A and B are shown apart, each in its own frame.
Chain A
Amino acid sequence: MVNPVTEIKKPVLRIQNLHVSYDKNDKGKYAVANVSADIKKDQITAIMGPSGCGKSSLLRALNRMHELYPNIVTQGKIFLNDVDISKLSNIELRRKIGMVFQSPNPFPSMSIYENVVAGYKLNGIKQKKNQRDEIVEKSLKDVALWNEVKDALHKRGNFLSGGQQQRLCIARALAFQPDVILLDEPTSALDPVATSKIEDLLIKLKKNYSIVLVTHNMAQAARISDYSMFMYLGELVEYGKTKDMFTNPSDKRTEEYLMGKFG
């Protein structure tokens, strides 16, 4: 039943007693309440739940995105490969954990090429041109965009379709070879064809990357994830192998959600 290989591998992320609150003054009200979980390496972990359940808040705690907003308070511990992320600088952490957002957001002032290596530029990492060319080509090939854009690398990305733009954003996150990629409902703004392309891509990418995917689309979680979390009202209700959860949920709330009773 249990795949021995994945069990032996250490978890890439360990979340311990995580709390996220959006109100400094009312710490009793949590968007994420006391969540503990280990995220498996080189697997796709989906976080599901009705809107407002705290799934995005959980995801954004993993790369300390909440620090941008002073009113958000995060408590608890998160370890990335056994290193406490609060001990890392947020610069370093975010280089190790890539993020893809709900709607495609390539930088409009940069060309496709510049977008892929934007992380290097933003971090002030200088490289020779042929090295840069290599990274761009490899990252774009990884997201199966190379053939579509190789003749327009130095044009701005605004003529790309939504799906292409989102793959460009994934390439931008991949260019750093992060340990983990966080995706926040990456296909919610896309049509079914573009969605299935992204899903195929994620399955391919999990060979080398650990992927955490927030989705409100149960079918998507069932199609591509290895592990699933179900969150409700900030709580982690159930976490386990996707197959097990979908066939035999252990909590009544999970069962109701999967039957379409809410959300």
Chain B
Amino acid sequence: MNSEKVTKNLLFVASIILILLAAGMVLTLASGSIPVFEKFGIQFIWSNKWNPTAGREQYGALPFIAGTIITSVLALIICLPLAFSASLFIGEFYKGTFFAKIIGTMVDLLAGIPSIVYGLWGFYYLRPMIVKLGLNAQGFGVFTASIILAIMIIPYATSISTEIISLVPNHLKEAAYSLGATRMEVIWNVTVPAARSGIIASYILALGRALGETMAVTMLIGNDNHIPKSIFGIGNTMASVIANQFGEAEGSKLSALIAIGLLLFVITGLINAAGKFIIKKLA
């Protein structure tokens, strides 16, 4: 074999390792989940009972699936007007100016703050505000976690949509202006429709981020193993229950946590695939 073949084979082997890695991850999570599914059946997914007391053990993932979806969707809703405004600020209103650079850099900085620091800040600064507003006595809960999550996903929701908005061709916008449209009318009728799929894709990817966030949520959501009673109630997400209960987990409980990890992996994978699919269609 010549050197070219050796090198190409080596690169190919590297790609095989990646496949093995991904396949191994899925298989490991799946086999780790088997005990809980054997014991409680497929109902594990939609059962809302979570009772680790020895002898009366019962596990169901529903409270955490519900908690994850509620917190993430609420975070996305809070994030939307902020991220959309920032995208318009950077990619349309002040495109290419010093102000746009400042806002853009600040938004990028948000992505650099570790999850645990968001958790601390939420605990010591945001939580007291929630208490003051009387939304929740201790300030913990879905709403508090969602606000922190919303802040955390802003850079993901902003990055692609800003780029796509700034790429909407000038001659289209000028055509609308030449018909007498105001800037707001141009944005809603020309810019946003032209950039629509890119904007949607970036919000889907941001949602994918929110689903898997762990530390900040764990520190703020209240860690209660029931379906949240309202958006100001306490709860747990799939990621936060794993972080929270893993330390003392054995047997069925460990298997239940692994199964929740598997479900989380599948859900985020599907959401991300949807986002990537839209981006691919765009290109």
Q: When A and B assemble into the complex, do they touch directly, with CB atoms less than 8 Å apart?
A: yes
Q: Which residue of A lies closest to B183 (CB)?
A: A68
A169 at the interface (CB under 8 A from B): yes
Decide: A94 near B175, CB < 8 A? Known: A107-B190, A109-B196, A121-B189.
no
Q: In B170-191, which residues have CB < 8 Å from any A CB?
A: 171-172, 174-182, 185-186, 189-190
Per-residue CB contact flags for chain A residues 58-89 toward chain B (1 = under 8 Å, else 0) read 00000101001000000000000000000000
Complex CA–CA separation, A172 to B181 (angstroms): 13
Q: Which residues of the partner chain B approach A65 to less than 8 Å between Cβ atoms?
A: 174, 177-178
A63 and B194 within 8 A (CB): no
The smallest C-beta distance from B164 to any residue of chain A, in angstroms, reads 13
A91 at the interface (CB under 8 A from B): yes
Majority SS at the chain B contact face: helix
B189 and A122 within 8 A (CB): yes
The smallest C-beta distance from A220 to any residue of chain B, in angstroms, reads 21
B52 at the interface (CB under 8 A from A): no
The smallest C-beta distance from A116 to any residue of chain B, in angstroms, reads 11
Looking at A17-25, A97-105, A196-204, the stretch in contact with chain B turns out to be A97-105
The smallest C-beta distance from B171 to any residue of chain A, in angstroms, reads 5
Q: Which residues of the partner chain B approach A40 to less than 8 Å between Cβ atoms?
A: none
**Residue B179 contacts which of A68, A94, A108 (CB distance < 8 angstroms)?**
A94
Complex CA–CA separation, A90 to B196 (angstroms): 28
Complex CA–CA separation, A65 to B169 (angstroms): 16
The smallest C-beta distance from A77 to any residue of chain B, in angstroms, reads 21
Decide: A109 near B194, CB < 8 A? Known: A118-B176, A121-B189, A122-B176.
yes
The smallest C-beta distance from A78 to any residue of chain B, in angstroms, reads 16
Q: Which residues of the partner chain B approach A107 to less than 8 Å between Cβ atoms?
A: 172, 175-176, 189-190, 193-194
A123 at the interface (CB under 8 A from B): yes
A123 and B193 within 8 A (CB): no
B180 and A123 within 8 A (CB): yes
Q: Which residue of B lies closest to A95 (CB)?
A: B180
Q: Which residues of the partner chain A approach B186 to less than 8 Å between Cβ atoms?
A: 122
Complex CA–CA separation, A80 to B169 (angstroms): 30
Decide: A105 near B185, CB < 8 A? Known: A94-B177, A99-B178.
no
> How many chain A residues touch B (Cβ–Cβ < 8 Å)?
29
> How many chain B residues touch A (Cβ–Cβ < 8 Å)?
19
Q: Which residue of A lies closest to B172 (CB)?
A: A105
Q: Which residues of the partner chain B approach A63 to less than 8 Å between Cβ atoms?
A: 178
Q: Which residue of A lies closest to B196 (CB)?
A: A109
A122 and B194 within 8 A (CB): no
A92 at the interface (CB under 8 A from B): yes
The smallest C-beta distance from A104 to any residue of chain B, in angstroms, reads 9
Q: Which residues of the partner chain B approach A260 to less than 8 Å between Cβ atoms?
A: none
A232 at the interface (CB under 8 A from B): no
The smallest C-beta distance from B6 to any residue of chain A, in angstroms, reads 49
Complex CA–CA separation, A107 to B177 (angstroms): 12
**Residue A101 contacts which of B175, B193, B194, B196 (CB distance < 8 angstroms)?**
B175
B185 and A122 within 8 A (CB): yes
Q: In B36-94, which residues have CB < 8 Å from any A CB?
A: none
Complex CA–CA separation, A102 to B174 (angstroms): 12
A4 at the interface (CB under 8 A from B): no
A109 and B193 within 8 A (CB): yes
A94 and B180 within 8 A (CB): yes
The smallest C-beta distance from B212 to any residue of chain A, in angstroms, reads 33
Per-residue CB contact flags for chain B residues 232-269 toward chain A (1 = under 8 Å, else 0) read 00000000000000000000000000000000000000
**Residue A105 contacts which of B171, B180, B193 (CB distance < 8 angstroms)?**
B171
Known: A118-B179, A123-B180, A172-B175. 13 other contacts (CB 8 A): A65-B174, A93-B180, A94-B177, A98-B178, A99-B178, A105-B169, A105-B171, A107-B190, A109-B196, A118-B176, A122-B176, A123-B179, A123-B185
Binding site for A on B (CB under 8 A): 169, 171-172, 174-182, 185-186, 189-190, 193-194, 196
> 10 tightest A-B contacts by CB?
A109-B193, A99-B178, A122-B181, A119-B179, A94-B180, A95-B180, A105-B171, A91-B180, A105-B175, A122-B185
25 residue pairs from A and B, CB less than 8 Å apart: A65-B174, A68-B174, A90-B180, A91-B180, A91-B181, A91-B182, A94-B177, A94-B178, A101-B178, A102-B171, A105-B169, A105-B171, A107-B175, A107-B176, A107-B189, A119-B180, A122-B179, A122-B180, A122-B181, A123-B179, A124-B185, A172-B175, A173-B178, A176-B179, A176-B180
